[in-house]
Chain A
Amino acid sequence: MSLIEEIDYGTPKSPSEKMITLTIDGNEVTVPEGTSIMRASMEAGIKVPKLCATDMVDAFGSCRLCLIEIEGRNGTPASCTTPAMEGLVVHTQTQRLKNIRKGVMELYISDHPLDCLTCAANGDCELQDMAGAVGLRDVRYGYEGDNHVFAKAHDVANDRWMPKDDSNPYFTYDPAKCIVCSRCVRACEEVQGTFALTIEGRGFSSRVSPGMHENFIDSECVSCGACVQACPTATLTEKSVIEIGQPEHSKVTTCAYCGVGCSFKAEMRGEELVRMVPWKDGKANRGHSCVKGRFAYGYSTHKDRILNPMIREKISDPWREVSWEEAYKHVANEFRRIQYQYGRNSIGGITSSRCTNEETYLVQKLVRAGFGNNNVDTCARVCHSPTGYGLKQTFGTSAGTQDFDSVEHTDVVMIIGANPTDGHPVFASRLKKRLRKGAKLIVVDPRRIDLVRSPHVEAAQHLPLRPGTNVAVVTSMAHVIVTEGLFNEKFIRERCDWDEFQDWAAFVSSPEHSPEAIHQLSGVDPQALREAARLFATGGNGAIYYGLGVTEHSQGSTTVMAIANLAMVTGNIGRKGVGVNPLRGQNNVQGSCDMGSFPHELPGYRHISDESTRDIFDKLWGVKLQDEPGLRIPNMLDAAVDGTFKGIYIQGEDILQSDPDTKHVAAGLAAMECVVVHDLFLNETANYAHVFLPGSTFLEKEGTFTNAERRINRVRKVMSPLNGYADWEVTQNLARAMGLDWNYGHPSEIMDEVALTTPSFAGVSFDLLDREGSVQWPCNEKAPLGTPIMHIDSFARGKGKFIRTEYVATDERTGPRFPLLLTTGRILSQYNVGAQTRRTHNVVWHEEDRLEIHAHDAEQRGIRDGDWVKITSRAGETTLRALITDRVSPGVVYTTFHHPTTQANVITTDFSDWATNCPEYKVTAVQVGASNGPSEWQIEYDEQARQSRRIAPVLDAAE
């Protein structure tokens, strides 16, 4: 085990395909045109000294350390800003160059503290390295001159000196150590796209400053860490490095937060995690990160983690710690008893979108082969199940069509019902980079999300539609494209069913789908809608990215089909820069669906009624699978209330907090006789559990996650599970206690079984992943290294299918009692129900959920900014504090759902998508009024939660 060292080539890679050859220090080097001489040298293994250049940002040419000489040219140009050209003869080390470099370094060092031995960057400082590289032995200027290093000189305060900024919870800024190379400023601009940093002042007095001379925490900074990574000195340093010291070994692994699936190097000292550094070769993130993956891992060692199994008879009893053996035996006995008493189909399981593919596969296998039924579902039910259904119907595959790199080739980006800067930050940074280079943006969202207007990015069109009218708006775009003759006939004739197209075209062309006709219900300006449709149809490569604002509606599946129609009618499928791209919420939502977590589908999206598929598993598992679909989560809860569903094994999900209509979920759970929760913490669902099995974090296990681009990324174990067992081992032991003869020795064997049984995974193995870094499924004989872009020559289902998409108003309507529409979302620093992020320093950015309300609606109700308000729906009520904003239109209110005390889902109703039962989170009719504090339900709930989290003290043997 050693530290993974990545080569810094000094300047970014040139995309050119034309190659040129030059000579550097006597070596012939061939590089793409546009490559800097610095990078060309590095490719030949020659390290030109440098300070202000790094390959994550464009060269700036300010430090003058990287000078070179070129035969036949005068002077000493900077190698980082001078492009390599055919036939050049370059020298990187001459007497003249040596002298200049020494001089430059002397100047730097004369204004730099010499506390190297006690500096946090000791051993990882480029200034130190360069001093060594140029042979610096003496500093002629002394250290007494003008400087930024000392707070005082001869008892007089030094105006140039600035104190350390400790305000960010994860890194420090020590201006005394800054060499003003501006790498951080460029990283914030070019990589992150936030433009939070500037160089203030000029010449010797210049210094880096967040915002307008603010602290980091008060500035625009989103704590992505790009500047810290770019900084060559200890000026910007992770607090964890200051505290622990430099790491000594590292492993590449995958972030366990969101569906972008960023690759990180977990840098370790023994079993202690020193820091997470985004990995340059990560194909999803290309070396970038957000605050969650980069810094918010503290939950993994949080004191709230439960490390011993616990059981109790009634949920009103305190928990009792037991041995693993006892816990397994108890669960096995209970599940068998329940099945004997209430029938084979009276129990089920829920797989987790946070766990690995291998773990998910095992849970569904336990349900199908061990419980002998198909009552398995996953929390993807509540987020992206309509994506699976809609894309399967239209294209034939339940997944997005592109890789993230594709955005670099997009000319028009349409974002529908997603807020990438908060939900998928690293993708948002890559998107903003493309937008700054000139791609156009269309935003379809009720709320003015950040992307609509942010530094150097402005949407060409923002269509602020009323929540619940997606189908009307997207269908109306198709209306414009068809009636104005902007469709791509060649593509449609070649790739789609022409008759179906004609039927659909006639449908969308009818006047009731025109932008003018739907204006009344959608609230969208018809002219803006027309412009947006024209831009998308004619602006070049068009790509659609969408999120939960599309799926979490009673017409979620219909909207996904409407989006697919739009991509087909404009011919935007099957090449780089186009496509339909669902932005998945949790890290492994895609994977949990792929692995057969849905009650009607075996791994690889094959329906349970298909005999030949069942046969594969029957033979391998030695069972006879049921040929009927099982219960979905909402159906399980209904059945529980009806008394026919009595036991459940829930791995890594908190359905009480994440599912709609909390009271109904609570009633369902309370009606069960054996609820088993397998998680890191006593989550909200555990309040209703009879057995708690401690879970492990992504740092503690081997496995894979599949991100939103179908990319299978490796998860690698860097520390031993605090609870003793990885989650897959716990599921295996439970299966064995129930009499199944499972003997997996390593997760790679589970993936081998997936490959053996599932055609789209046939080529996948841990060996392949270790070799290639990652692959995108389908990965099989036809595509041995995976499939970055799908449907290239033909659709997975053959011909693309146009489907009529009629707008149907949701039954969740506003009226006199509930006049406002509530829609929900998330923010950058928190993740889902917040169980992890709330247990990190990320809370400094989001202490509570707030209700965003337009000034007009607030005024009518006498609500001021920061007031406690009560929000009531047909399902229930809760309280939280108001935030007055014009981001939402009048008539619409918005909140996040990261904190359990808010209980936003007490108010969401049980309406759901017609095809998949995905709950309608995004539209709830509500009333808002002033309040004095927590609602009765919140108080009652808090008390119940407090009671049910009691753990009995371990009794003495004597007692």
Chain B
Amino acid sequence: MDSESHKSTATKLVYMANQIATFFHTQPKDEAVAGVADHINHFWEPRMREQFFAILEQGGDGFDPLVIEAAKHIRKPGLVSGAS
């Protein structure tokens, strides 16, 4: 089952965040940081953002600088994943 496309979720998250940053790099400068943060806030489920911050705390290896800059505007997920 091993093949190049089966990456870990963390690798994928880094990749996805960078893809978003790549788009916003081409937008006017003042919109770029907010653009990345908004996009992630709007579309990433809390556990994805949790993982995002975990990667960031470990040094944020591989993140586009724009992602790191946007991180302070990305919402930290609250504790919603407990048993109901």
Contact = CB atoms under 8 A, between A and B. Distances in A.
B59 interface: no
Contacts of B77: 628
| Chain B, interface residues (CB within 8 Å), range | 20 to 34
A914 B23 contact: yes
A735 B22 CA distance: 42
A551 to B, nearest CB: 15
A641 B48 CA distance: 14
Nearest to A608: B42
Contacts of A76: none
A340 B84 CA distance: 7
A638 B7 CA distance: 10
B45 A630 contact: yes
A638 B9 contact: yes
Contacts of A915: 20, 23, 39, 43
Overall SS of chain A's interface: loop
Given A503-B28, A600-B42, A345 B5 contact: no
A875 B3 contact: yes
B80 A339 contact: no
A663 B1 contact: yes
Interface stretch (A676-684, A800-808, A893-901): A800-808
B22 A910 contact: no
B12 interface: yes
B66 to A, nearest CB: 13
A644 interface: yes
Nearest to B3: A875
B81 interface: yes
Contacts, number: 96
A445 B44 CA distance: 33
A372 interface: yes
A377 to B, nearest CB: 11
B62 to A, nearest CB: 14
B80 A628 contact: yes
Contacts of A83: none
B44 to A, nearest CB: 7
A948 interface: no
A808 B22 CA distance: 8
B12 A910 contact: yes
Contacts of A554: 19
A626 B22 contact: no
B84 A339 contact: yes
Interface in A341-367: 341, 343-345
Contact of A635 (B5, B39, B41, B48): B48
Interface string B59-84: 00000000000000000010011111
A628 B27 contact: no
Contacts of B28: 503, 804
B57 interface: no
A629 B81 contact: no
Nearest to A875: B5
Contact of B82 (A344, A632, A661): A344
16 contacts: A344-B84, A345-B46, A503-B28, A600-B43, A607-B42, A628-B46, A632-B43, A644-B81, A667-B1, A874-B3, A875-B4, A914-B16, A914-B23, A915-B20, A915-B23, A915-B43
Interface of A: 339-341, 343-345, 372, 374-375, 503, 554, 558, 599-600, 607, 609, 626, 628-632, 635, 638-639, 641-642, 644, 661, 663-664, 667, 803-806, 808, 874-876, 909-910, 914-917
Given A632-B45, A638-B9, A806-B26, 19 more contacts: A343-B82, A344-B80, A344-B84, A345-B80, A372-B84, A503-B28, A554-B19, A600-B42, A629-B45, A631-B47, A661-B5, A663-B1, A804-B26, A806-B25, A874-B5, A910-B7, A914-B20, A914-B22, A915-B20
Nearest 8 A/B pairs, CB to CB: A806-B26, A914-B19, A344-B84, A875-B5, A874-B4, A638-B9, A909-B5, A343-B81
Interface of B: 1, 3-7, 9, 12, 16, 19-20, 22-23, 25-28, 39, 41-48, 77, 80-84
